[in-house]
Structure formats: structure tokens, C-alpha cells
């Protein structure tokens, strides 16, 4: 009996993932639908690449996009067929532009699409220049998800950050230090001690737009013991789920998170 092709399913909702995994199993695939936990996920896939990676885009599509970009940027996984399923067409369109040689389909047509992807894996896959490629050319306010009419809290931000941020969407406004009624929080932290000391109180203030935890880049000239894995680890322990990363400027990087189970992205 032939061995079943192994498929790694990336889905951000455990119950839905189980149902989708059953569908794939019924099509003859051996499915791993464990909750995805970057960055360990990428090490796992590089060490033992599956026959294909199926990414559901119905929830947290930007995080699904980042999974695809990371897989393409790593030599050990860039030739693995990528199949993106579902999602809002408006949110899927930029992913198509970034990863044009991936397969895009619906759950109704997953059988045929996955079979085609396995039959013709990319011989010269498109490799984005960086994890930030999706943001190139966009205004910083758009990269950070600031929307018209939104109140944005700046917590411990540099004095000149409003200038760095540039023009805001119509009706959007900044509030320094005051998170009351804000749809989005931009929290600047300089070191691990400050992050650990303040994360619980900040999580309690997170609104529908989430919270950017922003820390100094290595080589920026701002001394810090923070890195992306450390920020993610502390955020997850405090009840956050991150789904977007952004190079804010030459000095700062940011990770956008929502409270766990806060809904669709």
C-alpha cells in the first residue's frame, strides 16, 4: 500500500482545523493540523518538509501570508507546494501578488487544487526579498493598520513619533499615554524588564484593533535585550496572539497582537 502524502495544515482555529483535517484525510492525505506556533513551526517544516502546506486564509490572513513568505525564504521549504484556501478576496489579492506561483482555491475545490499542486511543485519559486515585502511602498499608518476615525494610543513613544508616522487617515487621532476608548495601541518598550512589568496591564486595555508591541532593532544604536522571539513569548504568556510584524523605521520593529480568541483577522 502506497504511503499517504503528508500535508501540513495551517489554521488559526482548532475546531475548524479538525474539520478541515478530516476533509483532507478523506482525500487520502496524512494530515498534521497541530496549532501553528511560529517560529518553531518553520524549524519543524525545514527539518521534515511535508508534501504540501495548506494555509487557511479565513482567519488571520496576514499571518497566513507570513507563513507562506517564511517558507519561501528558507531553502529547505521553498520548493514545497503552497496551497492557500478561502479568505476574503480583497485580503487574498495582495497575497497573490506577493506569492503568485502558490495555488489559491476554496475548500469545495481543495481536492483538485491540492492534487495539481503536488503534481507540479514550483521549480523556480518566487522568493520575497524579506518578511516585510508585503509592506513595501505603503504609508506607515497603513502598515500599522490605522483606519479612518480610529483613536490610536501612543504609549512611551519617542517624542517625534507623530512626525515619523506622517499623515493619518481622515478622522484618525493620536492619544499619548491614554488608552481609553482607543481602537489600537502602539506600545514602545526598550527592554525585557519593562515588557514583563507592563504587559499584563497593557493586555487588559487592548481593543478591537489590537496592540503593537514595538522594540528597538538590533544595530539601531538603542541598547536592548529584546528580540522578536522574546516579545512573542512574553505576549503569548500574557494571553496575546500575534499575527503581523512590521519594520516601523530604521530604529523600531513591531509585532501586532490581539487578545487570544478575539476573533477573525
Three-state secondary structure of 42-54: HHHHHHCCCCEEE
> Residue 190's closest CA among 166, 214, 219?
214
Give start-end residues of each CATH 3.40.50.2300 domain in the chain.
Answer: 6-134
Per-residue DSSP letter, 2: P
Determine the Cα–Cα distance for residues 50 and 68; give it in Å rounded to an integer.
14
Q: For residue 259, give the 3-state DSSP assignment.
A: strand
Strand-pairing partners, residue 153, are 175, 185
Helices 61-73, 40-47: axis angle to 10 degrees equals: 40
φ, ψ of residue 6 to 5 degrees: the values are: -90, 130
> Residue 66's closest CA among 22, 111, 36?
36
| Tens-digit pLDDT string for the chain (265 aa) | 568 999 999 998 999 999 999 999 999 999 999 998 877 888 889 999 999 999 999 988 988 998 999 999 999 999 999 999 999 998 899 899 899 999 999 999 999 999 999 999 989 999 987 766 666 667 899 989 999 999 999 999 999 999 999 999 999 999 998 888 899 999 999 999 999 999 999 999 998 889 999 999 988 888 899 999 999 999 999 999 988 888 899 999 999 999 986 544 4
Q: In the structure grid, which three cell numbers stand for residue 138, read together?
A: 505603503
Element (H, E) at 203: helix 192-203
pTM score, whole prediction? 0.62
Determine the Cα–Cα distance for residues 56 and 74; give it in Å rounded to an integer.
21
Give start-end residues of each CATH 3.40.50.150 domain in the chain.
Answer: 140-259
CATH 3.40.50.2300 corresponds to the domain 6-134: yes
First to last CA, the chain: 41
> Residue 58's closest CA among 101, 3, 112, 17?
17
CATH 3.10.105.10 corresponds to the domain 140-259: no
Amino acid at each position: 500500500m502506497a504511503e499517504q502524502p503528508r500535508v501540513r495544515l495551517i489554521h488559526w482555529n482548532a475546531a475548524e482545523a479538525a474539520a478541515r483535517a478530516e476533509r483532507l484525510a478523506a482525500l487520502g492525505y496524512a494530515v498534521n493540523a497541530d496549532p501553528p506556533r511560529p517560529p518553531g513551526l518553520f524549524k519543524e517544516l525545514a527539518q521534515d518538509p511535508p508534501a504540501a502546506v495548506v494555509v487557511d486564509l479565513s482567519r488571520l490572513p496576514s499571518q497566513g501570508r507570513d507563513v507562506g513568505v517564511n517558507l519561501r525564504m528558507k531553502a529547505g521549504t521553498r520548493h514545497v507546494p503552497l496551497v492557500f484556501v478561502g479568505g476574503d478576496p480583497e485580503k487574498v489579492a495582495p497575497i497573490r501578488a506577493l506569492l503568485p506561483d502558490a495555488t489559491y482555491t476554496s475548500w469545495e475545490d481543495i481536492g483538485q487544487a491540492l492534487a495539481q499542486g503536488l503534481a507540479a511543485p514550483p521549480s523556480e519559486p518566487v522568493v520575497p526579498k524579506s518578511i516585510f515585502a508585503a509592506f513595501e511602498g505603503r504609508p506607515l499608518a497603513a502598515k500599522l493598520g490605522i483606519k479612518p476615525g480610529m483613536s490610536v494610543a501612543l504609549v512611551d513613544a519617542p517624542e517625534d513619533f507623530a512626525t515619523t508616522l506622517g499623515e493619518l487617515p481622515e478622522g484618525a487621532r493620536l492619544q499619548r499615554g491614554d488608552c481609553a476608548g482607543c481602537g489600537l495601541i502602539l506600545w514602545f518598550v526598550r527592554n525585557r524588564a519593562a515588557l514583563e512589568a507592563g504587559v499584563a496591564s497593557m493586555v487588559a486595555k487592548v481593543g478591537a484593533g489590537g496592540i503593537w508591541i514595538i522594540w528597538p532593532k538590533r544595530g539601531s544604536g538603542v541598547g536592548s535585550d529584546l528580540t522578536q522571539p522574546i516579545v512573542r513569548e512574553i505576549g503569548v504568556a500574557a494571553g496575546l496572539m500575534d499575527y503581523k510584524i512590521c519594520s516601523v523605521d530604521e530604529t523600531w520593529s513591531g509585532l501586532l497582537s490581539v487578545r487570544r480568541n478575539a476573533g477573525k483577522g
